[in-house]
A = this chain, B = another copy of it.
Amino acid sequence: MAGKNMLIAQSGGPSSAINASVAGAVAGAMASGRIGHVLGALNGMQGLLERKIINVSERMRTTEDFELLIHTPAQALGSSRYKLPKDSADVYGRILGILREYNVGYFFYNGGNDSMDTVSRLAAFFREKGEDIVAVGIPKTIDNDLEETDHTPGFGSAARYVATSVAEVYLDTIVYPVPAVTIVEIMGRNAGWLTAASVLARRDGIGAPHLIYLPEAPFDPDAFVDRVTQLVKEKRHIVVAVSEGVRLADGSYLADTGAAEDMFGHKTLGGVASALEAMVKERVRIDSLKTRPIQFSTLQRAAAHLASATDLKESYECGYRAVETALQGVTDVMITIRRTSDEPYLIRYAATPLGGVANKEKKVPSEWISKDGADVTEAMVRYLRPLVRGEATEKMVDGLPKFFRFDMTKPVDPADL
């Protein structure tokens, strides 16, 4: 009675909102009555090629299952760093064979710009072969760097984590009378959206962050040292928010500068916060100045307890609408969010050809960065504010979050489908 099966897979870096898209896609499939089984490939294309495929819809039986999945951080189906070779008819052929074997008519990939490239290539291959398998991308990235969409699911939750944590770190640093510089390192190698979100901490008498450095503006060490010196004299305690991808005027990463390497050696420690700390220690001449580098590390992308309700809802909707779009026979597109108003916050969903998204990175526009390159503008604040609204209501048991897990050990047998 029901139609062909659908298959969904996840890719790229974790986020607190990515599973809401899977929940939405499963809901869309079930609600349509036109899709057989919802299958999930484990660890992205890698698992698909290895036939590590589970039956997702079988596991989603109750409203609580959906609620738990929505609030569980990091890819519940696993992710992968494996990239499909660009021109290997063999690999594309194998994928097609496997999708046929599992009677899949609808393919969904949930990830960032690399993943969208994969979806686009698959869509082209299916078309070329005359197959009626549609391929639709569902956007996801805490980096917020996808083109053609106002913002990406996952970003609002990470932004809420960053803003909340910067405010808390600031309250922690001001308790002692000694002057202090706290340097918070935030993810984003090429795009500074998430670092920019730290600005939302700044309200109700909280001045932090006092300086914000994004990869889009060249970093000037002399100006930095001057600003820090002046700000500490004025405010005593300051917080600096810095993107891991901040670069010097010559284009080299600050994290890779000789100074940082000599003093701290190991790459996996990150390095921008430590490089800036070394700079402050060496060049800011203020008595008994305390410095502290903080890396938000993987918590900024996995702290589901601080997920934005707005973000989770939009992530769910993107999954749901991806299925609706696919059922209309549309292929080679990614679901997008278009904003029509900041306040009240109004959006609509659409679909955009993958060609405009794949392998592209949306940077912070220069007019949203202050002239001195050490802050963001009010337009950025207006853009960011609605995205962190609303508190996620995850289920707690004994004060601790309950999470959803798929059983990864029971691959589905295509003969049972």
Q: Which residues of A contact B (CB under 8 A)?
A: 10, 14, 43, 46, 72-75, 78-81, 160, 163-165, 167-169, 171-178, 200-201, 203-206, 263-266, 268-269, 274, 277-278, 291-295, 297-299, 301-306, 308-310, 385, 388-391, 396, 398-403, 405
Contact = CB atoms under 8 A, between A and B. Distances in A.
Given A165-B299, A168-B305, A305-B168, A175 B78 contact: yes
B81 A176 contact: yes
Given A43-B177, A405-B205, A294 B292 contact: no
B297 A294 contact: yes
Contacts of A175: 10, 14, 43, 74-75, 78-79
B168 A302 contact: yes
A35 B278 CA distance: 50
Contacts of A171: 14, 72-74, 302, 403
A80 B177 contact: yes
Contacts of A160: 399-400
Contacts of A203: 400
Can you tell how many copies of this chain the complex includes?
2
Contacts of A385: 398
A164 B394 CA distance: 12
Given A265-B265, A388-B399, A299 B80 contact: no
27 contacts: A14-B175, A43-B176, A46-B177, A73-B172, A74-B168, A75-B175, A78-B176, A78-B177, A81-B176, A81-B178, A160-B400, A164-B400, A168-B298, A168-B304, A169-B298, A172-B301, A204-B402, A265-B265, A268-B292, A268-B293, A269-B269, A269-B274, A294-B298, A299-B299, A305-B305, A309-B399, A388-B400
Would you call the interface of chain A mostly helix, strand, loop, or mixed? mixed
A309 B391 CA distance: 17
A308 B310 CA distance: 25
A78 B172 CA distance: 9
Nearest to A309: B399
A200 B399 CA distance: 10
Given A14-B172, A176-B43, A391-B396, A167 B75 contact: no
Given A80-B177, A168-B305, A204-B405, 4 more contacts: A78-B174, A169-B298, A268-B293, A385-B398
B308 A399 contact: yes
Contact of A293 (B269, B274, B310, B391): B269
A385 to B, nearest CB: 6
A263 B264 CA distance: 7
Contacts of A205: 405
A265 B263 contact: yes
